[in-house]
Amino acid sequence: MKPFVNEPHAELRRAAVRESLLAALRGLEATLPWSVPLWIGDERRSGDDLLSSDPGNPERLVARCARATPQDVPAAVEVAQAGAREWGTRPAPDRGAALTGAANVMRRRRHELAALQVRECAKPWAEADADVCEAIDFLEYYAHQAIELEQGKSLVQAPGERNTMRYRPRGVCAVISPWNFPLAIPTGMVAGALAGGNAVILKPAEQSPASGLACVEALREGGVPPAAVQLLPGEGDVGAALVQDRGVATIAFTGSRPVGLEIVVTAARTPAGQRHVKRVVSEMGGKNCVIVDSDADLDDAVPAIVTSAFTYGGQKCSAAARVLVHDAIADELIKRMRGAVDLLQVGQADDFATQVPPLIERAAQERVLDYQERAEHEGRLLRQPGPVSSPGWFVPPALAVDLPRASSVLGDEIFGPLLAVERVAGVAEACDVVDGLDYALTGGLFSRNPETVDYVVSRTPVGNLYVNRQITGAMVGRQPFGGNRLSGTGFKAGGPDYVLQFTDPQVVTEDTVRHGLVV
Amino acid sequence: MTAALEGEILRIGRELADSFPSMARHPVKALDDKAMELASRDAELRAALFRFVDVVPACRSLEDLARHLSAFLREVDERPPSLDAAIRMADSKAGARALGLAATAGVRHMAHRFIVGETPHDALRLLADLWQRGVATSVDLLGEATITVEEADRYADRCRAALVALHEESAGWPQRPALESDSVGAIPRANLSVKVSALTPLLRPEAPEVGKRDAAVRLRGLMQLARDLGAHLHVDMETLDSREIVLGLVLELLAEDEFAQGPSAGLVVQAYLRDSSETVEQMLDWTREHTRAQPLVVRLVKGAYWDQEIIEARRHGWPAPVFEEKAQSDRNFEALTGRLLEARPLVRVAVASHNLRSVAHAIACNRALGTSDGDFELQVLRGLGDDLQHALARQGLRVRTYCPVGDLVAGMAYLVRRLLENTSNESFLAARMHDASVEELLAAP
C-alpha cells in the first residue's frame, strides 16, 4: 500500500478549477432532488417523509428521504450482525482495499459531492471541497491503520512462552452523524468502524441525508458488502433506538453535548440479553478560545481569528467562539476585527466569494439571533451593518464585546457567526478562563515568545491547541482531532489510535514447552 | 547562446565586479555582512535572529525585548559564549534594559540598511543624493497588512501624498539625461511602486473579482493623479494567489480611454514562475491591442516569494508553481530578458537582479541587439544592490533603486524577507561574501 498522503484540496486560485466546480453544480442540479432510501442489506425502501432543502433557498428541494422508525432498527441490526461476522473475518488488507476503493469512488465524484454540500448544507465551495477531501483521507488513513493494527503489538516474551496481542472487531457499530461535515464526519466514523472489522449502521443527520447516501454508495461500490454498511435515515427517535438496541456494541456519535451525554447514559445500561458493555465514542462540541498576547502580530492574528470564527458561519465544532486578548492591544485588535467582520462576504454558498452562508435551518437562525440579542443587552454587539439577505437562514456576522464573565454568550456553544472578544490582564488570566470551561475541544494562541507558548501548552486542557494560526481545518494524519472534558470521550479522529476504539484487544499465550524442551 | 555573447557577458561582468568598492572602505557595512554571515552559517541562530527581528516592533518595553531575545537564544543548541552572556544579562533588570537597548539599536541599524526612511519626506534627501550620483529610484511604501477599508484608504492616501512629494521634490533635481529619457521619449523622475494587497482588504484568490473591483477604485485614483503629475506608477507583483487579480486589474484600467495618454505604468514578471513566459506573452498581446502614449514598463524579477510559494504548494499537495532549482529560474530569467528586449518598443524593459551574471547577460543581450544602453533599465533593491547600483551608474547605465519607506513595525515583513534572502545559501550575495571567483559568479546557469 502506498504511504498515506492527504488528498490535495482544489486549487481554487485557478479559474479553470472554479469553472469545473460550477459545471459540476449545474450537473448536480439536473439530478435534484435525490431520493434517499432506507438501505438495509440489499433492500431499498424509498419514501418522502423527510425533505432536505437548500438552506439558502428553502423552496429548493435537495432530497426526498425515507424516514426510518424505531421499528426498523431490529431488522437492520440483525442484518448487520450477519454482516459483521463475514466482514470481521476478512484480512485487514482486504478491508483496506474496500475502503481505498470507496476513496476512489469519492475521488471520481469529488466535484459532484462538493456541489451536493453547497446545496444541501449551504457549505461554501472551499469548505465543501475540503470536506470531500477529508472523507477521502479518513478512508485511506484508516485503511492503513487497519493493516498496521493487524500486526498486533509486541509483548514481553519469556522462554517457552509465546505471547501475542491482537485486536478483534466488536460487532455492530451505530454511527450517528451531524450535518456540518455532511460527508467527512459520517465517512470518518463509518470508516473507522469498518477498518476495525465491524459492521455499521449509519444514521445521518436529517438535514443532510443525501450526503449520507453518498457515503454509503461509495463504500458499497468500493467493495464493502451490503450487510456491513447500512443506511437508516431518520430523526432522533431512530438514533435513540439504535443506542438502546442490545445488538449494538459501539456507538460513534458527533453532535451536541446534551445528545452525546444522553447517549453515554443510555449506553451504560446492560439490559438482560445484552452480552457486552457498550462503548461510546462521542464528540460533543466546544467553546473554543483564542488567546492573543501583547506580542502577537495582528496582521496575522486578525485574519486567522476571523477565519476561525466565521468561515461557514461558525458552524464548526472547532470554530473560535471567544477571543481573550491582552489589554495592551485589545483596542487595536477590536478595531481591526470590527473592520474585518464588516467586510465578511455574506451570501449564497455557490458564490466563491461567500464566507458567511445562510445557517443550516430556521431554528439555527433564531437561536443565533437570540444570542446576538443577549449580547447586545448584556454588553455591546458590533454587527455587520446592512439588511439581512433572503431567502435563506442568514444571520449577519457580529462581535460581542464588554460582556460580563457570567454571560451565557460566553458559556454556551452558539454555533453561529458570533464571536466574543474579552480583555485579560495577561496570558495567565486567559488560561484561568479557559480552565474554567467544561468544554475543551480546540484552542488558539497568538504569541511570539516561545516561553509563553510553553506556558499555555502546560496549562490548556484542550484537545487541539493551535499556535499562531487558525484553529479550524484539522487535517487527517496531521492534526488528529477531538476534545477533552465534556467535549468528547474519544481518541482522536484521523489519528493513530482511532480505529482501536472499535476493537477489543485479545492476548493469546501459548506454552511452547514439551517434555522440558522448547519446541 | 553564442560564444560571442558568453564572452561579452564575462567581459561586462568583470568590469562591473572590478568597480565594486572594497569592503574595507565601508566599516559599518562590513560589520553588517559579518552578522549576516554568522546567521547564514547556523540555521538555529538564523531562526533566533529572524524571530527576534520580527517581534521587535511588538515589544512593549526594553525588559520585554530582552525576554524575547533570551527566549529565542535559549532555543539555539550550540551557542557562542557571547550569546550565553546575552542570556545571562537578561536575568537582571539593569542587564535586561541594556540588552534591550543594544538589540533594538542592532535591529534599527539593520533596518536602515534596507528601509530608507519612515516617511517619503524623510527619504527625499537620500533620493536626491542618489539621483545626483546617477541613480534613479522607485519608492515603495511599507505598511501593515490591509485588513479593513480604513487601512486600504490610508494606504491609498499615503500613496497620493508620496506621489505629490516625489513630484514636487524631483522637479528641482539636476538634469540626468541617462535617467530621464530613452529613444521612445521622457521617463518620469517621480516613480512609485504600489501593492494591490495593500489597496484592498478583499484580496482572495478564490474570488478574484471582489478584490479586483475594490482595488480598482483606489488604483484608478492613483493612476489619475500619476497621470496629472506625470509620475510613473508601478504595480508590484506578490504571490501567485494575486497574480490573476493584479494583471487583470492593471491591464483593464490602462485600457480605458482616460489613461490613453498616461500615466507611465508598469507591471512585474516573476521568472521563478514556471508559466511566466505565458504572462509575458499575455502582456505583449495586450500592448499590441492597446495603443498608449507611454509603453508599459515590464520589470523582470526572479521573484521574492519562493519559500512561501513552495510551502503553500507542499502544504496543499499542489504542484509547485515555481521552479524548484535556482538555476532553472536563472535560465528562465535570461530567456525572458531576451524575449522582452526583442519586444521593444511595445514595452519598456527593466531588468531587476543582483546577480552579476543576470545583469551582465542583460547588458550584453541588449548590446547584441544593437540597441543603445539607454533603451533599457536595470533595477536593484536598496540595501542589497548598493554596490551594484553605483557600478552600473558609473558605466552610464540607467539604474533604478527600489527604496522601501516606512516605520519599523510596517517594515518588518519586508526586512525579514530581505534578511532571509541575504543569508540563504543560494544567495548571490552570500556567494560573494564567501569569496567565490568572478568566473564562478558569471558562469552560465
Chain B positions touching chain A (beta carbons under 8 Å): 51, 54-55, 58-60, 64, 67-68, 71-72, 74-75, 144-145, 147-151, 201-202, 204-210, 240-241, 244, 316-318, 413
Tell me how far CA of residue A184 lies from CA of A89, A142, A501, B345, in angstroms: 26, 13, 18, 56
The minimum CA-CA distance between A123 and chain B, rounded to whole Å, is 15
Chain B residues in contact with A328 by the CB 8 A cut-off are 60
Indicate the pLDDT class of residue B27, thresholds 50, 70 and 90: very low
Tell me how far CA of residue B106 lies from CA of A510, B103, B413, in angstroms: 70, 5, 17
pLDDT at B25: 47
pLDDT at B257 over 70: yes
Indicate the pLDDT class of residue B432, thresholds 50, 70 and 90: low
Nearest to B147 among A296, A302, A328 (CB): A302
The minimum CA-CA distance between A302 and chain B, rounded to whole Å, is 8
pLDDT at B392: 95
Chain centroid, CA A220 distance in Å: 22
Residue-wise pLDDT for A139-193, tens only, equals 999 999 999 999 999 999 999 999 999 999 999 999 999 999 999 999 999 999 9
pLDDT at A42 over 90: yes
Instruction: Give the list of residues 6+ apart from residue A374 with CB closer than 8 angstroms, or none.
Output: A407, A408, A409
Contact check, Cβ <8 Å, B147/A12: no
Instruction: Give the list of residues 6+ apart from residue B402 with CB closer than 8 angstroms, or none.
Output: B137, B138, B140, B193, B352, B379, B380, B381, B382
Q: How far apart are CA B49 and CA B72, in angstroms?
A: 8
Percent of chain B clearing pLDDT 70 (strictly above): 92
Nearest to A8 among B67, B204, B317 (CB): B317
Of the CA atoms within 13 Å of residue A103, those in its CB half-sphere come to: 24
pLDDT at A333: 98
Q: Best mutation site among A298, A448, A475, A479 for testing chain B: the one with the most B CBs within 10 Å?
A: A448
Contact check, Cβ <8 Å, B151/A339: yes
Chain B residues in contact with A125 by the CB 8 A cut-off are 206
Q: How far apart are CA B436 and CA A181, in angstroms?
A: 56
Q: How far apart are CA B48 and CA B75, in angstroms?
A: 7
Chain A residues in contact with B145 by the CB 8 A cut-off are 299-300, 303
pLDDT at B114: 87
In chain A, where are the structural domains located?
A: 38-284+488-506, 288-467
Nearest to B316 among A8, A296, A339 (CB): A8
Contact check, Cβ <8 Å, A5/B317: yes
Nearest to B318 among A8, A336, A345 (CB): A8
Q: Is A468 on the interface with B (CB under 8 A)?
A: no
* Third-level CATH fold of B115-442: TIM Barrel (3.20.20)
Contact check, Cβ <8 Å, B55/A352: no
CA angle, corner A153, sides to A148 and A155, nearest 5? Answer: 160
CA angle, corner A483, sides to A478 and A487, nearest 5? Answer: 155
Contact check, Cβ <8 Å, A451/B317: no
pLDDT at B81 over 90: no
In chain B, where are the structural domains located?
A: 42-112, 115-442
Question: Which string of b and e fits B98-133 if b means at least 16 CB within 10 Å?
Answer: ebbebbbebbeebbebbbbbeebeebbebbbebbee
List Cβ<8 Å contacts ≥24 apart for B121-124: B121/B165, B122/B405, B123/B403, B123/B405, B124/B165, B124/B166, B124/B169
Spell out the SS3 assignment of chain B: CCHHHHHHHHHHHHHHHHCCCCHHHCHHHHHHHHHHHHHHHCHHHHHHHHHHHHHHHHCCCHHHHHHHHHHHHHCCCCCCHHHHHHHHHCCCHHHHHHHHHHHHHHHHHHHHHHCCCCCHHHHHHHHHHHHHCCEEEEEEECCCCCCCHHHHHHHHHHHHHHHHHHHHHHHCCCCCHHHHECCCCECCCCEEEECHHHHCCCCCCCCHHHHHHHHHHHHHHHHHHHHHHCCEEEECCCCHHHHHHHHHHHHHHHCCHHHCCCCEEEEEEECCECCHHHHHHHHHHHHHHCCCCCCEEEEEECCCCHHHHHHHHHHHCCCCCECCCHHHHHHHHHHHHHHHHHHCCCEEEEEECCCHHHHHHHHHHHHHCCCCHHHCEEEEECCCCHHHHHHHHHCCCCEEEEEEECCHHHHHHHHHHHHHHHHCCCCHHHHHHCCCCHHHHHCCC
Beta strand segments in A229-272, E = 229-231, 248-254
Catalytic (active-site) positions of A: 283, 317
Nearest to B206 among A5, A12, A299 (CB): A12
Contact call for residues A434 and A337 (beta carbons, < 8 A): no
User: What letter represents residue A449's amino acid?
Assistant: N
Instruction: Give the list of residues 6+ apart from residue A442 with CB closer than 8 angstroms, or none.
Output: A286, A288, A318, A462, A463, A464, A465, A466, A471, A472, A483
- Classify residue A482 as left (phi > 0), alpha (psi -120 to 50) or beta: left
List Cβ<8 Å contacts ≥24 apart for A64-67: A64/A33, A64/A34, A64/A35, A64/A36, A65/A35, A65/A36, A65/A206, A65/A209, A65/A210, A65/A233, A66/A36, A66/A37, A66/A38, A66/A233, A67/A233, A67/A234, A67/A235
Nine cell digits for residue A389 = 439577505
**Which candidate, B384, B381, B387, B360, places its Cα nearest to that of B23?**
B387
pLDDT at B145: 93
Residue-wise pLDDT for A386-395, tens only, equals 888 788 999 9
Instruction: Give the list of residues 6+ apart from residue B163 with CB closer than 8 angstroms, or none.
Output: B190, B192, B222, B225, B226, B229, B231, B233
Tell me how far CA of residue B352 lies from CA of B15, B349, B358, B373, in angstroms: 19, 10, 9, 15
Contact check, Cβ <8 Å, B147/A126: no
Written out in words, the top-level CATH class of the domain with range A288-467 is alpha beta
pLDDT at B103: 83
pLDDT at B32 over 70: no
Spell out the SS3 assignment of A1-52: CCCCCCCCCCCCCCHHHHHHHHHHHHHHHCCCCEEECEEECCEEECCCCEEE
- Taking the alpha carbons at both ends of chain B, their separation in whole angstroms is 12
**Which candidate, A516, A492, A316, places its Cα nearest to that of A417?**
A316
Average pLDDT along chain A: 97
Residue-wise pLDDT for B145-181, tens only, equals 999 999 999 999 999 999 999 999 999 999 999 999 9
The minimum CA-CA distance between A454 and chain B, rounded to whole Å, is 11
Contact call for residues A303 and A340 (beta carbons, < 8 A): yes
pLDDT at B12 over 60: yes
pLDDT at B111: 83
pLDDT at B29 over 80: no
Residue count (chain A)? 519
Nine cell digits for residue B274 = 514556471
Contact check, Cβ <8 Å, A11/B54: no
Residue-wise pLDDT for B332-388, tens only, equals 999 999 999 999 999 999 999 999 999 999 999 999 999 999 999 999 999 888 899
Residue-wise pLDDT for A309-336, tens only, equals 999 999 999 999 999 999 999 999 999 9
pLDDT at B30: 52
Residue-wise pLDDT for B402-417, tens only, equals 999 998 777 777 888 7
Q: How far apart are CA B293 and CA B297, in angstroms?
A: 12
Residue A306 is classified by DSSP as H
CA torsion B78→B82→B87→B92, rounded to 10°? Answer: 160
pLDDT at B241: 96
> Which single residue is written with the C-alpha cell 467553546?
A287
Q: Is A302 on the interface with B (CB under 8 A)?
A: yes
Chain centroid, CA A64 distance in Å: 24
Contact call for residues A418 and A398 (beta carbons, < 8 A): yes
Domain A38-284+488-506 superfamily per CATH: Aldehyde Dehydrogenase; Chain A, domain 1 (3.40.605.10)
Task: Walk across the sheet containing A464-467 and list its strands.
Answer: A380-383, A398-401, A418-424, A320-326, A288-292, A442-446, A464-467
Residue A288 is classified by DSSP as E
Return the higher-pLDDT residue of B78 and A9.
A9
Q: How far apart are CA A422 and CA A280, in angstroms?
A: 35
Contact call for residues B280 and B328 (beta carbons, < 8 A): no
pLDDT at B24: 44
